């Protein structure tokens, strides 16, 4: 009962794009307010940004940061979010039935990214729900044009002399979802996305544009939606988006642990659809995938609140503040493995979201910031998952799941860095038994195990909380060895593993 695979530098999947480690800041609950931004907090800088959060964001290794939504963007009026703070209007946010104060806006977002550091880059969404081509162009002119026009001079007058240089833009959000303000059919959205893309490229031809794909693989319109939208936009966009959230259904943890089976099939199906449209259009161009919302999300809990009528236009209410367990971290790690295993076509991905809202980082207003269990797999994957993904085909014992049939107990990938070192990322889905692992290393001059870091716990429900913020952290495994080109390890039951080889 051993899981095995072979790695060989001659067999690769593709180069990891740093944007695979993106995240997402939406005006939702406390992601922005009392999350990244809290004037008056003991750690706040002169702009009101929480420096304790900034430090954790850097440690997390986040790259592209999608903004300002999410569902929020479909009612977003960008001009409300710029200029003197005291003059910014308060607005109803229909998506989350909250009140938006606009104290944090476009300029503050760019300031936040610049303070995170050079690895952070903007990924801005335009509103194609209640708005259209004209407003997208005005926002682009305000953000990116150097000066000498009405909108660019307004930015300069607002104190931002340098253009924001936003290269990557999302053309709306989840426009296939009936919950979306300004929801559209695939035909309606495809046309609007195409016209918006065409016009935005008239200002800057080299933008990178993301068309909305489906909100999940389970949508009734899935695949047909992608096909119709791409038929309209194929030559005008670079990416199609995918969104997926996972939670245990009816307490079925075994299926939950195999969530990546769904994620990988979703990716394969979108790739097939993109390439089918490309073939139909006789195009040589490939559309890549932007998995710009993914996570574990206890969405059924949220729907119960949503349907209770309890939300009453509060400002920065506590919404979607899921507290993640060890089990969640293992599933989350497996989702990261799924993304890496498809690095040839998934070149952008955004963990939804960054702070407080289904997030790896939590904060208390006026109080501390801390790492959720999911923080660690993300930080490790961002740090060590850079380079070339090796083609890993596991030979693993399996287990039965209700949703996905027989699933491998081992889920794994391996990434070879530019300096030749290799990191194996692996999950053992077995809830009770350790899983022996053997990896044959072909053509790799590796001789030692640098570390074998693990997230696992006798209590799979253990979580980090305000009262016990370091209850769950990675620990080192013992007994992992590399001899004569063969790695041997034992993966603890229900565990996330990072094995670094040099
Ligand atoms: O990330 C939370 C929400 O999930 C986003 O606003 C929306 O795009 C998705 O449905």
Residue whose CA is at the smallest distance from ligand 1 atom 1 = 352
Of residues 228 and 311, which shows the higher confidence score? 228
In this predicted model, what pLDDT tens digit does every residue of 70-80 receive, in sequence order? 999 999 999 99
Ligand 1: does its nearest atom lie under 6 Å from the Cβ of 69? yes
How far is the centre of ligand 1, averaged over its atoms, from the C-alpha of 443 (Å)?
Answer: 44
- pLDDT value of position 426: 98
Domains 3-9+391-501 and 17-384 share a fold: no
Q: Are 35 and 356 in contact (CB under 8 A)?
A: yes
Residue 69 — pLDDT band, cuts 50, 70, 90?
very high
The domain ranges of the chain are 3-9+391-501, 17-384
Q: Is the pLDDT of residue 361 over 70?
A: yes
Length of the chain in terms of residues written: 502
Protein residue with least CA distance to atom 5, ligand 1: 70
User: Choosing from 174, 226, 388, 492, which is the catalytic residue?
Assistant: 174
Q: Which ligand 1 atom minimizes the distance to the CA of 177?
A: 10
DSSP-derived 3-state class of residue 154? helix
Q: What's the pLDDT score for residue 79?
A: 98
Give the distance (Å) from ligand 1 centre to CA of residue 293.
Answer: 7
pLDDT at residue 194, rounded to an integer: 98
Going from the C-alpha of 195 to that of each of 44, 139, 475, the distances in angstroms are: 42, 16, 52
Instruction: Determine which helix (DSSP H) or strand (DSSP E) holds 190, and give its type and residue range.
Output: helix 186-203
Q: Is 373 in the pocket of ligand 1 (CB under 6 A)?
A: no
Distance CA 117, CA 385 (A): 19
Q: How confident is the model at residue 300 (pLDDT cuts 50, 70, 90)?
A: confident
Is the backbone of residue 226 left (phi > 0), alpha (psi -120 to 50) or beta?
alpha
Mean pLDDT score across all residues of the chain: 97
Q: Out of 226, 232, 293, 388, which one is annotated catalytic?
A: 293
pLDDT in tens, 153-167: 999 999 999 999 999
Q: What is the pLDDT of residue 302?
A: 77
Structure tokens at 399: 């287990």
Q: How confident is the model at residue 303 (pLDDT cuts 50, 70, 90)?
A: confident
Mutate to test the pocket of ligand 1, among 65, 67, 174, 322 (most ligand atoms within 8 A of CB): 174
Give the rounded percent of residues in the chain with a pLDDT score beyond 90: 97
Q: Average pLDDT, stretch 57-67? A: 98
Question: Cα angle vertex 293, ends 367, 343, to 5°?
Answer: 120
The CATH number, out of the four listed (3.40.800.10, 3.40.50.300, 3.40.50.920, 2.60.40.1180), of the domain defined by the range 3-9+391-501: 2.60.40.1180
Question: Is 174 labeled as catalytic in the residue annotation?
Answer: yes
Query: Is the pTM higher than 0.90?
Result: yes
Q: Is the pLDDT of residue 348 over 80?
A: yes
Residue 21: what pLDDT? Answer: 98
Instruction: Compute the distance between CA of residue 320 and CA of residue 297 in angstroms, rounded to an integer.
Output: 8
The domain 17-384: what is its CATH number? 3.20.20.80
pLDDT value at residue 251? 95
- Residue nearest ligand 1's atom 7 by CA: 70
From atom 6 of ligand 1, which residue's Cα is the shortest distance away? Answer: 70
Confidence class for position 68, pLDDT limits 50, 70, 90: very high
Position 305 scores a pLDDT of 72
pLDDT tens-place string over residues 88-115: 999 999 999 999 999 999 999 999 999 9
pLDDT of 65 reads: 98
Of the pLDDT bands very low, low, confident and very high (cuts 50, 70, 90), residue 301 is confident
Q: Ligand 1 atom closest to Cα of 358? A: 1
* Helix-strand-coil split of the chain, %, nearest 5: 30, 25, 45
pLDDT of 309 reads 62
**Any ligand 1 atom below 6 A from CB of 292:** no
Confidence band for 409, pLDDT divided at 50, 70 and 90: very high
Query: What pLDDT band is residue 310 in, cutting at 50, 70 and 90?
Result: low
DSSP 305-345: HHHHT---SEES---S----BHHHHHHHHHHHHHHHHTTTT
- What's the whole-number mean pLDDT along residues 335-341? 98
């Amino acid at each position: 009962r051993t899981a095995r695979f072979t790695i060989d530098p001659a067999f690769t999947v593709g180069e990891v794009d740093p944007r695979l480690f993106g995240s997402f800041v939406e005006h939702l609950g406390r992601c922005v307010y009392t999350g990244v931004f809290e004037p008056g907090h003991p750690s706040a800088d002169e702009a009101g940004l929480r420096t304790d959060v900034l430090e954790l964001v850097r440690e997390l290794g986040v790259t592209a940061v999608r903004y300002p939504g999410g569902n929020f963007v479909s009612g977003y009026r960008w001009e409300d979010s710029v200029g003197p703070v005291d003059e910014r209007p308060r607005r109803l946010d229909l998506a989350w039935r909250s009140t938006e104060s606009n104290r944090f806006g476009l300029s503050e977002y760019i300031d936040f990214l610049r303070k995170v550091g050079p690895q952070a880059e903007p990924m801005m969404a335009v509103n194609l729900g209640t708005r259209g081509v004209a407003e997208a162009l005005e926002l682009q002119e305000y953000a990116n044009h150097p000066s000498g026009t009405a909108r660019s001079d307004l930015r300069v007058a607002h104190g931002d002399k340098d253009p924001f240089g936003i290269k990557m833009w999302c053309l709306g959000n989840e426009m296939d979802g009936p919950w979306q303000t300004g929801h559209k059919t695939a035909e309606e959205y495809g046309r609007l996305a195409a016209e918006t893309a065409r016009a935005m490229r008239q200002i800057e031809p080299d933008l990178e544009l993301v068309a909305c794909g489906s909100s999940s693989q389970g949508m009734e319109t899935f695949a047909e939606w992608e096909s119709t939208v791409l038929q309209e936009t194929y030559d005008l966009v670079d990416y199609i988006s995918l969104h997926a959230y996972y939670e245990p259904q009816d307490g079925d943890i075994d299926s939950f642990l195999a969530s990546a089976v769904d994620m990988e099939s979703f990716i394969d199906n979108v790739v097939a659809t993109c390439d089918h449209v490309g073939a139909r259009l006789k195009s040589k161009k490939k559309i890549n995938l932007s998995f710009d919302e993914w996570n574990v999300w206890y969405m059924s809990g949220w729907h119960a609140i949503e349907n209770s009528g309890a939300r009453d236009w509060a400002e920065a209410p506590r919404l979607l503040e899921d507290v993640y367990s060890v089990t969640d971290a293992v599933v989350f790690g497996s989702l990261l493995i799924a993304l890496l295993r498809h690095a040839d076509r998934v070149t952008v991905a955004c963990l939804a979201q960054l702070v407080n809202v289904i997030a790896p980082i939590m904060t208390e207003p006026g109080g501390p910031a801390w790492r959720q269990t999911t923080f660690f797999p993300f930080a490790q994957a961002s740090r060590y998952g850079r380079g070339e993904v090796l083609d890993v085909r596991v030979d693993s014992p399996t287990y039965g799941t209700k949703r996905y049939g027989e699933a491998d107990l081992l889920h794994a990938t391996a990434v070879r860095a530019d300096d030749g070192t290799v990191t194996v990322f692996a999950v053992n889905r077995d809830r009770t038994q350790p899983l022996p692992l053997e990896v044959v290393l072909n053509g790799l001059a590796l001789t030692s195990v640098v570390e074998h870091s693990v997230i696992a716990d006798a209590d799979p429900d253990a979580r980090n909380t305000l009262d016990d913020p370091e209850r769950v952290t990675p620990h080192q495994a013992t007994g992992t060895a590399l001899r004569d080109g063969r790695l041997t390890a034992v993966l603890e039951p229900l565990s996330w593993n990072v094995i670094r080889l040099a």
